[in-house]
Amino acid sequence: MKKSTLKKYAQLIAKVGANVQKGQYVTVVASVDQELLANYVVEECYKLGAHLVTVEWESDVVSKTQYKKASAKALSEFPAWKEEKQKFINEHLPVMIYIESSDPDALKGVNQKKVSEVHRNLVSKIKPYRDERENKYQWTIAGAPSKAWAKKVFPELSAKKAVEKLWEAILSTSRCGEDPIKAWDEHNQNLDKKAKHLNSLNLDYLHYESKNGTNFKVWLNEKALWIAGGERIRHSGVYFNPNIPTEECFTTPISGKAEGIVYSSKPLSYNGELIENFSIRFKDGKAVEVKAEKGQNLLEEMIKMDEGACKLGEVALVPYDSPINNTGLLFFNTLYDENAACHLALGLGFGNTIKDFEKYSNKELREMGVNDSGIHVDFMIGTKDLSITGYTRDGKKVQIFKEGNWAF
């Protein structure tokens, strides 16, 4: 990887993704194997006027050891310094930049009941702070290949060659070419046109059908707002791109209003393990039955994580002929695979997908049907033959997707 290319990617992350503003605190979360990219991102943040940039290092290897050796009680501890950290975050609202490079099988062999228990315990303590700062800060997530991840995608190649090939895929799908800034401006404008058209339809519900067995209906909030590409901060209006790359138009459905069955079209990496070839059946808005050829127990644990984990928090539309899907690669990473196909998400809904969300408190948004949960897990259901029909509130029938792609 040329340093000049890596620096260009870092600039894309800091400027287009996070859109760091002068005087802001910034936190970069990265794996220990991504020191060079993390450093370039730090440099770009300072060029944009950041007040202070802090890096938090992560390690798949250490995380696995922790889950194997430490008790769930110990891993669930929330000492005073962690609480003070949450208070600091809510006071200063640092920009959060996540560099994703995890091994899809990072926690394979770990007791997933323990992982779920720890997650549940920590979320119960952190979530009130997260709710308080929701829609008030910029954040972005971008990928960088680790050897383990690259070998998962390209098992036939040497580790070095696999990393090179995954870098090529990441940079091309992230539109990090000759002029990334211009490319993203055009891309966001195109996505915004799709979102505006969806918002003009006043949709009541969507009906998904596919030959793989998917036959599913999901209802939308009367004040539902479709969002695509970048988002804006609740009060400052600062525009940022949460995902690099992104191809989706998404909204939050009504919590508790979904019926039918959906079949996965890609594996799901969750808690460091893969769930493959699975289906989820919904009744009265809840996932009441799950089946998986691989990861059945993990899927069952997921939907029992908390009261809202079995309900939907997101509906996202992505054409089958997306740049990511057209690479022909299975990334085994949700950031990329969710932007390769239509997907749904179990768990937390997005308050900013409600019209005039700035006028409402988080409590009011939950009362309006935005699902509440400690998880938000995207799973892919888009196929080549997927049909999505929209039904408007004034009784019209509109084709949204045909043969896996936009019908308009």
Q: Note the pLDDT tens digit of each residue in 135-168.
A: 999 999 999 999 999 999 999 999 999 999 999 9
Q: How far apart are CA 214 and CA 161, in angstroms?
A: 38
pLDDT at 1: 81
Question: What is the average pLDDT across 188-197?
Answer: 97
Would you say 162 and 151 are in contact if contact means Cβ atoms under 8 Å apart?
yes
pLDDT at 197 over 90: yes
Q: Which two tokens stand for residue 328?
A: 């022909």
pLDDT in tens, 96-113: 999 999 999 999 999 999
Q: How far apart are CA 94 and CA 378, in angstroms?
A: 25
pLDDT at 336 over 90: yes
Token pair 């609740």: residue: 234
pLDDT at 221: 95
Q: How far apart are CA 238 and CA 138, in angstroms?
A: 8
Enumerate residues 6+ apart whose C-beta is below 8 A from 138: 18, 19, 20, 95, 96, 233, 238, 240
Question: What is the average pLDDT across 195-209?
Answer: 97
pLDDT at 234: 76
Question: What DSSP state is assigned to residue 311?
Answer: S
pLDDT at 175: 97
- Per-residue DSSP letters for 102-152? --TTTTTTS-HHHHHHHHHHHHHHHHHHHHHHTTSS-EEEEE---HHHHHH
Q: How far apart are CA 54 and CA 120, in angstroms?
A: 27
pLDDT at 272: 87
Phi-psi region of 88 (alpha: psi -120 to 50; beta: other; left: phi over 0): alpha
pLDDT at 34 over 80: yes
Q: Which two tokens stand for residue 317?
A: 């539309």
pLDDT in tens, 369-391: 999 999 999 999 999 999 999 99
Would you say 241 and 188 are in contact if contact means Cβ atoms under 8 Å apart?
yes
pLDDT at 150: 98
pLDDT at 407 over 90: yes
Q: In this prediction, what percent of the chain has a pLDDT beyond 70?
A: 100
pLDDT at 358: 87
pLDDT at 89 over 90: yes
Name the pLDDT band for 77 (thresholds 50, 70, 90).
very high
Residues, the chain, total?
408
Name the pLDDT band for 55 (thresholds 50, 70, 90).
very high
Question: What does each C-alpha distance from 192 to 111, 162, 187, 258, 314 come to in angstroms?
Answer: 43, 35, 9, 26, 18
Query: Can you say whether the dihedral through the CA atoms of 331, 58, 115, 18 is positive or negative?
Result: negative
Question: Is the backbone peptide bond immediately before 245 cis, with ω within 30 degrees of 0?
Answer: yes
Least confident range of 69-73, 110-114, 168-172: 110-114
Q: What pTM, to 2 d.p., does this model score?
A: 0.94
pLDDT at 352 over 80: yes
| All structural domains of the chain | 3-173 (3.40.1830.10), 197-229+246-406 (no CATH)
pLDDT at 236 over 90: no
